Amino acid sequence: MNELLVFGDLHKYLCKLGQMEVAIPESSFAPGYNRLGWRGKRKFATLHGDKKYQYLILHVDPGNPESTKGKTIQKEIQEILKFDIKEMRSFSLKKHEVYIPLECIDSKKNFELLKCFIKKLYGVAYRKVER
């Protein structure tokens, strides 16, 4: 699958997850997706459409840079989609975020696996915020 098509399909999917605010910065093509709830908004995902790297970031524990939840979930998604982020990307990874290169979404099967994974994370994060 073409990374641009994956980017567009992911954008549509993220917008349909629930009440979501999309913020597009002026300086780059990296829309951010914030969950809206009765306690306010929380960062959930960012799609990066940079020329050099195209990837999805899932913010598993936003506002808590010391959390290592992202590392644990990163390993899980790498097993599901069969990739190693350290072999594919040279930038430093934050421990509380999950990075998914769009070139890993090379089939409908992988796209469906990713959608299920995102939906699961959204459900867990949304319940945690709304309690």
Over residues 7-23, the pLDDT tens digits come to: 999 999 999 988 889 99
Query: CB count, 10 Å around CB of 108?
Result: 9
- pTM, 2 dp: 0.88
Over residues 78-94, the pLDDT tens digits come to: 999 999 999 998 888 89
**Widest CA span of the chain, in angstroms?**
40
Angle between helices 108-130 and 69-81 (to 10 degrees): 160
> Which one, of 105, 104, 129, 125, lies nearest residue 45 by Cα?
125
